[in-house]
Chains A and B, each alone.
Chain A
Amino acid sequence: MKAEYLANTTLATLLDPTATVWQQAVATTIPLTGTPAAMQPTAAIRNSWADRPIGATSELSVASLHNGVELAFLLRWQSANPTMDNGDNSVFPDGAAVALPLVENAPLMTMGAPGAGLDIWFWRADQGDTGREISAEGPGSTETLNTDRIHSKSQWQGGTWSVVIARSFAGSVIARSLAGSGHDQTLALSPGETTQCGFAIWQGANEERGGIKSYSADWLELQLAGRR
């Protein structure tokens, strides 16, 4: 897929899922699959989810745009029973994430590996427009980074979530010796480059949280259009 370049487009416009720029953007439909129960990090989760369906979202529509400064993704998926907040303890909010590899072909299924981390842009329905930037180098290793450059805006209408998640291109240290890898890593993106992207969706109505989610089983190539 390709992130087209729209000069003179503000971040506010990019963040608006109903904006005309998104109506004109080319969306790619990506099949999602549930994370395997056998891959869950603890025995209690593996044993108790072995016979339960994981991954209530089977399909995701993704489009991507950038304005030379910020890169944005519009994620759209069916959600008949959206969960906006935690409610009582048994209720989990819906969520979505975009992952980009710090090293080409870092393992997506395990959310990276030591020395081959991921940069994750995370949105959750109960956190308003405040997104989180997360780095991961394997299961259970996610760390929320002290950055405030993830922006998001969401809308649920007629059984569909439309969520925009955006981040500035500018790179800074995002992974500091995670999981003992011992070296800092950055994800600096530039227009004109080609990278990879992956996606995950959590449907709270299916008690999805943590490793219980739907995800794009493999990386998609992502071309970042150059500034003309």
Chain B
Amino acid sequence: MANSKRQMAMVMDLNKCIGCQTCTVACKTLWTREEGMEAMHWNTVNTMPGAGTPKNWEDMGGGFTDAGAQLGEMPTTKAFGEAWNYNHKEVFYGGKGQSAHLEIQGEKPDWGPNWDEDEGAGEFPNGYFFYLPRICNHCTHPACKEACPRQAIEKREQDGIVVVNEERCRGYRFCMEACPYKKIYFNHQKKVSQKCIFCFPRLEQGVANACARQCPGRVRFVGYRDDQDAPIYKLVDKWKVAIPLHPEYGTDPNVFYVPPFGAARFDADGDLDEETPRIPDEYLISLFGKDVLSSLEILKAERARVQQGEKSELMDLLIAYKWKDMFGGFDTDPQTLKWT
């Protein structure tokens, strides 16, 4: 497999995500408004622990095991969540605003893209949850690309972004079975697979991804993986606090996460116990591998330094004092550009 010369990457700080779905809507508005894309959310945010999008995606297989490349389960639109149709006409224009209320038309759904929001896990008063935003991981070793019998999936040489060539795609959907993160959708109108394109047409104009720019929580850092002056390199390679989701899937993702501390526990007397995390270590390890523990140690140590009045490059980076510094040079304001 030919390697890309450079690799674009993203870091998402899970301690800052408030689950507002602004990223989801930014992406939806920009890229998936056409016919056949109704049910697509290239960007999703789910409450963890939870079944996620598509439902139970972590149990669906795919990726690479000791036995080599695998096709996992096919994610269905039903499991992702269908696009629901409402009686807008009746309520807004039919003169029934006082008597009819908005409701989903047709078969009542039993799942959707954010169905188990804020359910989480744990027992009162120590319940816990956090939000996990996900896009295509633009993997260094993309299972989708390797599974496609038509070489219809390309990993761009200039930036490592993984894209589907819709001219070559025949809608066989092996990529959807192979992607262990279940981040590929099928367009039933065009009969081709479609997925997150990491906003490459924006990047080519120096504009950061819509999900990143629109994020009110300053959660997402964007940039070349090897740019040593930019936050991605510092968070992933220098400070080693940003780590991939499910590294055991074997695809080498290029989206990294700063893991969540979670809140402190209440002990039996109702006092705060700062020593025991509410989010069990085992759960975080199941998501991010063992590196999550050293990442959290580093984050805690740096946070403690700041609490004692010292400076910390890591904490300054994560706070993201200057919004534009999060985008690794891709900080052009799209309003200053002429789009054709």
Interface residues of A (CB under 8 A from B): 40-45, 47-48, 86, 88-90, 92, 126, 139-140, 142, 209-211
Contact = CB atoms under 8 A, between A and B. Distances in A.
Given A86-B191, A89-B186, A140-B151, A42 B174 contact: yes
Contact of B149 (A40, A48, A86, A89): A40
A86 B193 CA distance: 13
A99 to B, nearest CB: 16
Nearest to B178: A44
Contacts of A45: 71, 147, 149, 174
Given A44-B147, A209-B172, 9 more contacts: A42-B146, A42-B174, A44-B143, A45-B147, A47-B69, A88-B78, A89-B74, A210-B150, A210-B174
Nearest to B176: A89
B2 interface: no
B149 A47 contact: no
A42 to B, nearest CB: 5
Contact of B67 (A47, A88, A90, A209): A47
Interface of B: 67-71, 74-78, 143, 146-151, 170-174, 176-178, 186, 188, 191
Contacts of B178: 44
Nearest to A211: B149
A86 to B, nearest CB: 6
Contacts of A48: 70-71, 177
B69 A44 contact: yes
B interface majority secondary structure: loop
Contacts of B151: 140
B71 A44 contact: yes
A140 B150 CA distance: 4
B149 A210 contact: yes
- Interface centre among A40, A41, A44, A142, by most chain B C-beta atoms within 10 angstroms, is A44
B149 A88 contact: no
Contacts of B149: 40-42, 45, 139-140, 210-211
A47 B188 contact: no
Contacts of B67: 47
Given A42-B147, A89-B176, A140-B149, A47 B77 contact: no
B148 A90 contact: no
B32 to A, nearest CB: 16
Contact of A42 (B77, B78, B148, B170): B148
B55 to A, nearest CB: 13
B83 to A, nearest CB: 13
A127 to B, nearest CB: 9
18 contacts: A41-B149, A42-B149, A43-B146, A44-B143, A44-B147, A44-B177, A44-B178, A45-B147, A47-B69, A86-B191, A88-B76, A89-B74, A89-B76, A126-B191, A140-B150, A142-B170, A210-B149, A210-B170
Nearest to A209: B172
A142 to B, nearest CB: 8
Given A89-B176, A90-B74, A44 B191 contact: no
A89 B70 contact: no
Nearest to A86: B188
A64 B171 CA distance: 30
The list of the 4 closest CB pairs from A to B, nearest first, reads: A44-B147, A44-B69, A48-B71, A90-B74
A130 B319 CA distance: 58
A30 B74 CA distance: 33
B234 to A, nearest CB: 35
A140 B170 CA distance: 10
B180 to A, nearest CB: 11
Contacts of B150: 140, 142, 210
Contacts of A86: 171, 186, 188, 191
Contacts of B171: 86, 209
Contact of A47 (B68, B76, B148, B176): B68
B139 to A, nearest CB: 14
Contacts of A89: 74-77, 173, 176, 186
Contacts of A43: 68-69, 146
Nearest to A85: B188
Contacts of B78: 88
Contacts of A44: 68-71, 143, 146-147, 174, 177-178
A147 to B, nearest CB: 17
A49 B64 CA distance: 15
Contacts of A92: 173
A142 B78 CA distance: 31
A89 B148 CA distance: 16
Contacts of B77: 88-89
Nearest to B175: A44
A48 B70 CA distance: 6
Contacts of A42: 69, 146-149, 174
A128 to B, nearest CB: 13
A42 B145 CA distance: 10
A47 B146 contact: no
- Interface centre among B68, B70, B71, B149, by most chain A C-beta atoms within 10 angstroms, is B149
